[in-house]
Structure 1
Amino acid sequence: MIISEVLRKRGTNVVTVATTITVGDLLNTLADLNIGCAVVSDSAGRIDGIVSERDVVRHLATDPALLEQAVATIMVTEVTTCSPGADLEDVARVMTEQRIRHIPVVEAGRLINIVSIGDVVKNRLDQLQDERDHLMNYVSTAEGLTPPR
């Protein structure tokens, strides 16, 4: 399965924040929207960085004044991205190897969406459920039984 198929189920809402907003404002945004990260972008479509709740926690431990600083001070600037045509298993492998939970999806150099580890897991669970249903139907049919509902 490719990323664009996963994203079709998910929707297209990508939260972006400016490099200049404070970390405190970022946390309010993440909490209000019940999300774990935001793409940092000062211009539509261009990715300047990415920042997650984990980034905040990591930096807050050493800098209590962090909440008043700009997001640019803690954002990750080397952002791993993928294309809409990327294979889901490859993206899952990258997330696991790099220990990241969000990968922005870029097409023609512009941000179009973001895929999360939750999207990957949900898709895999859906696949396993479909396989289970198919096998149950196959076994029931082979034995002359009615498939369970």
Structure 2
Amino acid sequence: MRIADILRNKGSAVHTVRTDTRVCELIGDFARFNIGAVVVFENETVVGIVTERDVVRALHESGPSILAASARDLMSPSVTTCLPTDSVDSLAETMTEQRIRHLPVVVDADLVGIVSIGDVVKSRIDELQTERDQLASYIHGGG
């Protein structure tokens, strides 16, 4: 299975923010859109990503004053991305090795989607269910 298959099932919508978006707005976006990460843009280019974990860590380290900071202050500037043609297995390996939960999907510098570890797990469960159903059909069908 490919990343394109995941995007076909879940859609390609990605919530993005500008570098000057305040952290308090990000928190609202996480809750309102039920998401765990936002992709940060500057001049129509992906420049970072901010996750719920980034916000929690910043709150712990800096206290409530961090709410007035900008996405630029919290974002991880080195963003690992993937392609729609990448395999789900290779993405799972990358996410595990790099301890990443969200990967933007980029084609020719254009953001075309985002994949979470939850999407990868769901994809794998769906594959296993399909294999199970095929085996059960084969066994019950007599071969």
- The alignment's C-alpha RMSD in Å is 1.1
Output the CA distance in 2 between the equivalents of 1:83 and 1:130.
Answer: 25
User: How big is the shift at 1:114?
Assistant: 0.6
5 Å-filtered alignment, 1:1-149, equals 1-44=1-44, 46-64=45-63, 65-142=65-142
User: How big is the shift at 1:63?
Assistant: 0.3
Output the CA distance in 2 between the equivalents of 1:43 and 1:139.
Answer: 57
Output the CA distance in 2 between the equivalents of 1:62 and 1:141.
Answer: 61
- The TM-score, its normalising length taken from structure 2, stands at 0.95
Q: Which runs of 5 or more residues in structure 1 are unaligned?
A: 144-149
User: How big is the shift at 1:102?
Assistant: 0.5
Output the CA distance in 2 between the equivalents of 1:128 and 1:83.
Answer: 23
In terms of fraction of residues, the more helix-rich structure is: 2
- Greater gyration radius: 1
Output the CA distance in 1 between the equivalents of 2:5 and 2:74.
Answer: 32
**2:98 is aligned with what amino acid?**
Q
In terms of fraction of residues, the more strand-rich structure is: 2
SS at match of 2:112: strand
User: How big is the shift at 1:42?
Assistant: 2.3
Identity level (%): 46
Q: Which runs of 5 or more residues in structure 2 are unaligned?
A: none
Over residues 110-139 of structure 1, what are the superposed CA-to-partner deviations in whole Å (9 max), with x where a residue is unaligned?
111111111111111111111111111111
- The TM-score, its normalising length taken from structure 1, stands at 0.92
SS at match of 2:42: coil
